[in-house]
Structure 1
Amino acid sequence: MTTMTAREKAIQESFSLRMDEAELLNCMQCGFCLPSCPTYLETGFDESQSPRGRIALMKAVHDGLIAPDDDVERSLNLCLGCRACEPVCPAGVKYGYLLEEARDIFNNHNEHSAPVKAVRKTVFEGLFPHQNRMEHAVTLLGIYQRSGLQNATRKLGFMKLFPESMQAMERILPAVPKKSEMKNRSSSFTALTEKTATVAFFSGCLMDTMFLNTNNATIKLLQKAGCDIVIPEGQNCCGALHGHSGEKDGAKELAKRNIDAFEKSDADYIITNAGGCGAFLIDYDHLLKDDPDYAERAKAFTAKIKDITQILFELDFHERVKLKIESQTITYQDSCHLRNVMNTHIAPRVLMNAIEGADFREMENADSCCGSAGIYNIVESDMSMQILDHKMEKAKATNAHTIVTANPGCLLQMKLGIEREGLSNKVRAVHIVDLLLEAAEHH
C-alpha cells in the first residue's frame, strides 16, 4: 500500500476505532445483496458499487490494508442508502449503520470549500432544525408561486439557465400553503367514531410545510379510524438528512429533542406518514445506544413508531370505512425505507386493493429505489435520473393512471418521472394518504 497522507491516516484511525468490526465481519461476501442493489446494476455490475463491495472497502480501510482515498469515498457517496440489501442478507448485516458511520467519519475529516461549507451550514444548522425557518422558506416559495413571478420566470426562459433536471423539478413542486395555514392548525383532535387508540403524530419538517395538505389528510384518516390525536409541540426534523449526509452529531441532537417532545404525549403509538422519516425515527435506539441519558428512552420511543398505513390496516380502516374512487388503474412505488427498514409493504397494498373503482396492478420491481434518496437526486443527478428512467419503464408497463407512493421524496421523484416522460396530462402521482382520503370522502 502506498504511504497515506495525514488526512487519510486520521480517517483510517477513526475507522479502526469507530466502525463496528463485528458487523463488518458478519458480511459473508455471499452476493445475495447484488440483485437488490440499484447502483451495482446501473453501473454494469461494478463490485465497488455493491453492498458487499462497499463493506469490503470499509473493512480494508479499518484494517489498514488500503488508504481511504477519493475512490473509497466516491463509492460510499454513490450509494443511495436504500437498504434493499438488508432484507435479503442471510447474515442480517446492518449495512445502513455501517454506511452512516463511514460517511460521518469521512465528513469529519473533509475540508469543504467555502461555498460547500456555507451550504451545509445553512441546510444542516440554519434551516432543517428550525421549523419556523422551514415555514418561512416555504412561505417565500408560495409567494413565488402565487404572485405571478413563477409564470414570468418561465415565460422569460430564466429556468433554462439551470440543468434540465432542476427545470423539471421546479415544474412539479406542489402548490404550497400560506403561512397562516401552517400556523393555525390545532395541536389535538378527537376521534370521529368510537375511540380505538390515542396517537401522537410526527408531523415532520417538509411534510408539515410543503406537504401540509397530506398531513391534514393524515389527521382526517386517523380521526375516521377512531383515533384521538395529539401533535406534540417542540418536535422537529427527524434528522434523516443529517444522518445520511455525515452529520451524525446533528442527527443525535434532533433525535433527543424529538424524544423529549413525544415523551410528554403518553400516546399508544407515534404515527408517521413519510417512509424516510419513519425509518430514521425507528432507528433512534441505535443512534443513541451509547448515550446514558437517552439509550433506554430511545428504545421506548422507537417501540411506538408506526406508519400511517400500518395503523390504518391494524384498525381495520378498510373494512369499517367504504372506500371508492372514480374508475382508474393504480400502481404502487414502495418507499425504500418504509419497506426495507420498517417492514411495511403489505398494509398499503391491502388498503389500495380495498378501494372500489381502483384496479391495482403491481409494478415490476416496485420495491427497487426510484432514485430520490433524500437529496441524492440533486447531488448525484446523473445516476438518479438513470434509475428514474428505468423505474418509469416499469411504471408505464402497468398502464396506470395513478402512481401511488408513501414518502415525499418518492412522490416528487415520480412526479418528475411523469414530467420527463411527457405524461403529465395522462398520469398523476399521489401520496397514499391523499388517495385514501379521496376514497373515504367520495360522493
Structure 2
Amino acid sequence: MTTAEERKVIQQQFKEQMNEDELLNCMRCGFCLPACPTYVESGYKESHSPRGRIALMKAVVDGIIEPDEDVERSLNLCLGCRACEPVCPSGVNYGHLLEDARDIINQNKKHSFSVKTARNIAFNGLFPHQGRMQNLTGLLGFYQRSGLQSLARKSGVLNLLPPNLATMEKVLPTVPTRKEMKNRPQHLLAEGPVKKRVAFFSGCLMDTMFLDTNNATLKLLQLAGCEIVIPKEQACCGALHGHSGEKAKAKELAKRNIEAFESLEVDFIITNAGGCGGFLIDYDHLLKDDLSWKERAQAFKGKLKDISSILVELRFFEQQLELPYQVVTYQDSCHLRNVMRTFGEPRTLLKGIKGIEFREMKNADRCCGSAGIYNIVESDMSMQILDHKMENVEAVQAETIVTANPGCLLQMKLGIEREGVAHRMRAVHIVDLLIEAYEYTKQKSTVSL
C-alpha cells in the first residue's frame, strides 16, 4: 500500500515522465477491447482494458485521480501481451506506456522486506549472472536425478505448495548437468554450403533449463546452411526486469547485449524465445534517452530475426520432413506475434511436415496466461485464461500443442496436467518438433535403404 507522500511523488513523475502525446494518441475507439484477455475475462470491466488503463494513466498525469491501489491493481493485472497494438488504428504503443507506468510506481513504492528481498535476489542476484543461473539449474537437476523428486512426490510434501506451483513442478523439463551447461560452443559451422552467417542469442533460462531446445535450434540453423557465432559475453535479455518495473537494470543488460553482438560480422541475430525477441527488438525504445545507445540499439534491432523466420527464408520447409500422424495446433507467443510480428512462419514450417494434420484453434493469437511470472503472481486470472485456452485446444482435438516460447510451453503443459490429458496430449517447442521430424525422417530413410 502506498502512502500519501509516495502517491504525490508518483503523480509528479507520471506528469514528468509519461509520454503525453502517446496517451493522447488513444482515440478511445474500443478496437482493443475484444483483443484484451483481461477485459474479456473480467466480465468486460473497462478498467481492465487497454483503453481503460490508458485513461487511468492520463487521469493521474492530469491530477484528476491519485495513483492509488486501484490504479496499481489495474496495471498489475495486465498481461502485457500487447495484443491491443496490432488492432489499434492509431498505432498506440501501449506496451511502452505500461512499462513506464510500472517503473515509476515500483521505483517510488516502499516494498515490504520480504518482497524487496525476493525482487533483489531475482532481478539483481540471479538473472543477470549466467553462472548463478547454471548453479541454480544444477540444484534442480540434483533434485530430479538424486531421487529427491520421487521422494517428494510420494511423501505428499508438494501438497504443501499452492496447487499451481505443485502442478508446475510436474511439468518442469529434465534439466542438463552443470558440465553440459558450461560446455557451450562459441562457433559452429554450417552443414553444407554457407548461406548465412548468424549470431545466436542463447538467453538465460533457454541456455540452462531449456538447453536441449537451444541445442535443437543450433542444429536446425546448421542444417539450413548457417554458420553460427555464439558470443560468450551476452546476458539475460532483461524482459522480466522491464516488465516488472526494473528498467534501470534492463538498460544495463541491454547495453551488455548490444556490446556483445555489435562487433560480429553477421547477417542476423537469431532468437528462439518469443518473450526475449519481443524485448530485444524494443531496445531502441528502452535506450531512447541516450542518443548514442539508441543508434546502436537500432542497428542491433535491424538484425534480429526469430528462428522460424530464418528457416522459412532459407526454405527449410522444403526438406520433406515427416512424422507419424498426429493432430497439431499452434499457440502463438504474444510478443513474437504482437511485437516481432512473426506468426505465419511457424505455421508454414508446421504445414511442411508430412504426416501431421495442422488445425488452427480458435483464438490461437490470444495470450495463454503465462506472461513471464504472471501465472505465479496473478494465478487466478492466469488459470481462468488457461482453462479457456484448453477448451479451444480440445475443440480441435489436438494431440500436440506447439509453442515458440518457454513460458508458453510450461503454461500449456500446465494446462494439459490440469485437464488430466497428459496420456493423449503433449506440448513442445517448435524447434524440438522440427528436430524430432528430422530425426524420424532420417531414421526412416536409413531403414528403407
Q: Settle same-fold status: TM greater than 0.5.
A: yes
Equivalent in the alignment of 1:78: 77
Equivalent in the alignment of 1:15: 14
Equivalent in the alignment of 2:192: 193
Q: 2:64 matched to 1:30? A: no
Show the 5 A alignment for 1:238-317.
238-317=237-316
Q: Deviations over 1:59-103 (max 9, x none)?
A: 000111111000000000000000000000000000000000000
Show the 5 A alignment for 1:270-419.
270-319=269-318, 321-419=319-417
Tell me, which stretches of 5 or more residues in structure 2 are unaligned? 444-449
Letter in 1 for 2:188: F
Equivalent in the alignment of 1:90: 89
Show the 5 A alignment for 1:177-192.
177-192=176-191
Among candidates 408, 418, 433, match of residue 431 of structure 2: 433
SS of 2:428's equivalent in the other structure is: strand
- Cα shift at 1:322: 2.1
Q: Distance between the aligned counterparts of 2:29 and 2:326, measured in 1?
A: 43
Percent identical pairs in the alignment equals 67
SS of 1:294's equivalent in the other structure is: helix
Q: Distance between the aligned counterparts of 1:122 and 1:8, measured in 2?
A: 26
Q: Deviations over 1:138-167 (max 9, x none)?
A: 000000000000010111110010111011
Q: Distance between the aligned counterparts of 2:149 and 2:435, measured in 1?
A: 30
Equivalent in the alignment of 1:217: 216
- Give the stretch that moved more between structures: 221-230 or 185-194: 185-194
Q: Distance between the aligned counterparts of 1:5 and 1:156, measured in 2?
A: 48
- Cα shift at 1:326: 1.1
Q: Distance between the aligned counterparts of 1:144 and 1:168, measured in 2?
A: 16
SS of 1:167's equivalent in the other structure is: helix
Q: Distance between the aligned counterparts of 1:67 and 1:135, measured in 2?
A: 43
Q: Distance between the aligned counterparts of 2:269 and 2:203, measured in 1?
A: 12
TM score, norm. by length of structure 1: 0.98
Q: Distance between the aligned counterparts of 1:369 and 1:292, measured in 2?
A: 34
Q: Distance between the aligned counterparts of 1:120 and 1:266, measured in 2?
A: 37
SS of 1:246's equivalent in the other structure is: coil
SS of 2:305's equivalent in the other structure is: strand
Q: Distance between the aligned counterparts of 1:193 and 1:185, measured in 2?
A: 22
- Give the stretch that moved more between structures: 253-262 or 186-195: 186-195
Q: Distance between the aligned counterparts of 1:88 and 1:275, measured in 2?
A: 19
TM score, norm. by length of structure 2: 0.97
SS of 1:429's equivalent in the other structure is: strand
Q: Distance between the aligned counterparts of 1:347 and 1:295, measured in 2?
A: 29
SS of 2:198's equivalent in the other structure is: strand
- Cα shift at 1:289: 1.2
Equivalent in the alignment of 2:202: 203
Aligned residues: 439
- Cα shift at 1:228: 0.1
Structure 1 runs, 4 residues or longer, greater than 6 Å off = none
- Cα shift at 1:5: 2.0
Q: Distance between the aligned counterparts of 1:142 and 1:310, measured in 2?
A: 33
- Give the stretch that moved more between structures: 135-144 or 291-300: 291-300
Equivalent in the alignment of 2:447: none
- Cα shift at 1:295: 1.2
- Cα shift at 1:238: 0.1
Q: Distance between the aligned counterparts of 2:234 and 2:4, measured in 1?
A: 42
Letter in 2 for 1:20: N
- Cα shift at 1:183: 1.0
Q: Deviations over 1:209-251 (max 9, x none)?
A: 0000000000000001000000011101000000000000000
Give RMSD over aligned pairs: 0.7
Q: Distance between the aligned counterparts of 1:410 and 1:24, measured in 2?
A: 30
Letter in 2 for 1:175: T
Q: Distance between the aligned counterparts of 2:294 and 2:35, measured in 1?
A: 32
Equivalent in the alignment of 2:446: none
Q: Distance between the aligned counterparts of 2:294 and 2:50, measured in 1?
A: 28
Q: Distance between the aligned counterparts of 1:179 and 1:188, measured in 2?
A: 20
Letter in 2 for 1:80: L
- Cα shift at 1:109: 0.9
Q: 2:141 matched to 1:146? A: no
Show the 5 A alignment for 1:88-167.
88-167=87-166
Show the 5 A alignment for 1:59-70.
59-70=58-69
Equivalent in the alignment of 1:232: 231
Q: Distance between the aligned counterparts of 1:440 and 1:154, measured in 2?
A: 35
Q: Distance between the aligned counterparts of 1:133 and 1:324, measured in 2?
A: 39
Q: Distance between the aligned counterparts of 1:60 and 1:187, measured in 2?
A: 50
Q: Distance between the aligned counterparts of 1:106 and 1:365, measured in 2?
A: 32
Equivalent in the alignment of 2:46: 47
Q: Distance between the aligned counterparts of 1:200 and 1:327, measured in 2?
A: 35
Q: Distance between the aligned counterparts of 2:197 and 2:243, measured in 1?
A: 31
Q: Distance between the aligned counterparts of 2:90 and 2:183, measured in 1?
A: 49
Q: Distance between the aligned counterparts of 2:219 and 2:61, measured in 1?
A: 50
Tell me, which stretches of 5 or more residues in structure 1 are unaligned? none
Q: Distance between the aligned counterparts of 2:144 and 2:63, measured in 1?
A: 53
Q: Distance between the aligned counterparts of 1:192 and 1:411, measured in 2?
A: 29
- Cα shift at 1:293: 3.2
- Cα shift at 1:205: 0.2
